[in-house]
Amino acid sequence: MAPKARATSSTTPRPTPRATSRARSEERRAEILRAALEVIAERGYRGASLAAVAERVGLTQQGLLHHFPTKEALLVAVLEARDQWDAVPGNEIRLDLLGSLVEYNVMRPGIIQTFSALLGESVTDGHPAREYFTERYGSVREKFAAVLRAEYGERLPGGLTPEAAAPLLVAVMDGLQYQWLLDPESVDMAGAFRDFLGLLGAGARAEVSDQDV
């Protein structure tokens, strides 16, 4: 008689204790980052304390320090998380995607409020986010210049180079955010940004119209 085949299990292997612990730690870190966003939005970075963030997620301050050893480390993690949420797949930024990003920001005022509050505070000497924002804006201007060059070539319809227009594009996006946060009922952030994009291409449309006459 042939020996019986050994039964095989088709169930998914259970996660190891280490994997389970890692997953719980990552989940807890995400909760802390969300709480930090809320507290910073309410009180600003200097007014936000680790104790306040810890209390919001049901931890002791010592428990919070297990995940983020300093307040500065927590701040950097918050800013890095914000960049990940805004990341475009494949890093392929187009002018029309910037408009979509502004529309997306309308749906998450808390995050935009936190970012704007930190940006305003970071201009002061010794602020821990100053270096982050300085490097970030340098990178953003380079990316926006590349976006404008891909859309319009070496000269925009109004005559500006992409490098000259990029800081203006950044200024419009951030300036609209501040106005919208202060008075969302009066400022249509997404609509105003679409109008600005229309102005950027107005010269090109005018040239096409002249050629049709």
Query: pLDDT, tens digit, for every residue of 70-126?
Result: 888 888 888 888 777 665 554 567 888 888 889 988 988 877 888 888 888 889 888
How many C-beta atoms surround the C-beta of residue 88 within 10 A? 13
Tell whether the model's pLDDT for residue 136 goes beyond 60. Answer: yes
How many C-beta atoms surround the C-beta of residue 54 within 10 A? 22
CA dihedral 107, 110, 112, 116 (to 10 degrees): 160
Percentage of the chain modeled with pLDDT above 90: 43
Q: Read off the pTM.
A: 0.70
What integer best gives the mean pLDDT of the chain?
Answer: 83
Do 45 and 118 form a contact (C-beta atoms < 8 A)? yes
Amino acid at 210: D
Q: By 3-state DSSP, what share of the chain in percent is helix, strand and coil, each rounded to 5?
A: 75, 0, 25
Distance CA 22, CA 39 (A): 26
Amino acid at 82: R
